Amino acid sequence: MNRLGPVRRADERDIMVDLGHERPQVPPKARNASPIVPRASISGRALVAVVAIMTFLASMTTGVVMLISASATEWQSEVSSELTVQVRSVRGRDLDRDAEQVAEVVRSQPGMVEVRIFTKEESAKLLEPWLGTGLSLDDLPVPRVIVARTVPGRGLDLAELRRRVAEAAPSATVDDHRAWIERMRSMTGATVFAGLGVLGLVIVATIISVSFATRGAMAANRPIVEVLHFVGASDRYIANRFFRHFLLLGLQGGLIGGGAAIFVFGFSESVATWFSGTPVGDQFAALLGTFSLRPTGYLALAGMAVLIAGITALASRRTLFSTLNSIE
């Protein structure tokens, strides 16, 4: 026989525990205001720092590679549309006359835009770093240099030019800088390759860091995950609750790292502009060309930030599902 009386759920007076009016009757807010996974439970600051650093490194690498690539292209296009003829001094021949004759030969070659013989003063300036100032070239057997600018993209008959130049002055040599351009090309290729390598390492390091952070967060929140399982939440639902946090952390890190990289490039560009015209600025420009990224370059930096944030999110999602599989 049952000794328990019936309970009518509809009747609010028949509550299990009558608390009377001892407790203050505060009007309840009773709303779902708390996140399923508390943000404070995920040690986000360290992860944001890691993602920011990784994004900064990736963006800097991308920017530097783009800068070098652009400068190399600039040098190559300048140099490849130029050729130099050296006329050496030979006993028994008039160097100035030889130079004039060679210049005429070069001028008459189809595809030439401008042909100019370097003056003695210009040649002296070229040798200044090695021989010092106040040099009199008359005392030295310094070759004369003829610089010719060609129509860009138009193929020159170099063999014919060489033959004709040799006829005009046997001691003259024609240099179209091809070997130097090839070296430049391989150096640029190596730089891009190294940049890609660094990017690859940064991405792998990001994935590993994020996986560790995700596992840590899941371990710290295991009781929550278990309760969510108890109440019938699917793995996808649980993963999405964590995923939001990691996506946000990734975006924060990406924004900080990418923003810092954009600032560094923007600042360097301003510094280069301030110093342009000064000896330091000229040296810098000679080495790196115009130290400025095109708008597409800045777009690439922003793209890096998005990429790293995306990798953070994907790596955490993958770890979330594999960890959830191990929790019943």
Shortest gap between Cβ of 313 and another protein (angstroms)?
A: 21
Counting residues that bind another protein (by CB under 8 A) gives 45
Which is nearer to another protein, 21 or 91 (by Cβ)?
A: 21
Binding mask of the shown chain, residues 138 to 167, with x at each position contacting another protein by CB under 8 A:
------------------------------
Q: How far is CA 291 from the centre of its chain?
A: 14
Say how far apart CA 232 and CA 157 lie, in whole Å. Answer: 80
C-beta of 248: minimal distance to another protein in Å?
18
Nearest to 62 by CA among 253, 254, 298, 221: 298
Q: Which is nearer to another protein, 34 or 133 (CB)?
A: 34
Positions in 185-244 near another protein (CB under 8 A): 223-224, 226-237
User: In angstroms, rounded to a whole number, what is the distance separating the alpha carbons of residues 118 and 68?
Assistant: 30
Smallest separation, CB 226 to another protein (Å): 7
DSSP reduced 3-state for 132 = coil
Q: Token digits for 69?
A: 């690539």
Minimum distance of another protein from residue 13's CB (angstroms) = 10
Distance (Å, whole) CA 310 – CA 304: 10
In angstroms, the CA 203 to CA 257 distance is: 14
Mark the segment that binds another protein (CB under 8 A) among 31-39, 61-69, 247-255, 258-266. 31-39
Sign of the C-alpha dihedral, residues 99, 104, 107, 110?
A: negative
Between 228 and 304, CB nearer to another protein? 228
Give the x-and-dash track for 2-21 against another protein (CB under 8 A): xxxxxx-x--x-xxxxxx--
The two tokens of residue 293 are 């990224």
HSE at residue 291, side-chain half, CA atoms within 13 A, is 21
Q: Does 274 bind another protein (CB under 8 A)?
A: no
Q: Kindly report the number of other CB atoms within 10 A of residue 213's CB atom.
A: 24
Nearer CB in complex with another protein: 64/320: 320
Candidates 33-41, 71-79, 197-205, 256-264 — which segment interacts with another protein by CB under 8 A?
Answer: 33-41
Nearer to another protein, 3 or 91 (CB): 3
Instruction: Specify the 3-state DSSP secondary structure of 175.
Output: strand
Nearest 10 degrees: Cα torsion 236, 242, 243, 249: 180
Asked if 25 is part of the footprint of another protein (rule: CB under 8 A), the reply reads: yes
Positions that interact with another protein (CB under 8 A): 1-7, 9, 12, 14-19, 23-26, 28-34, 36, 38, 41, 223-224, 226-237, 325, 328
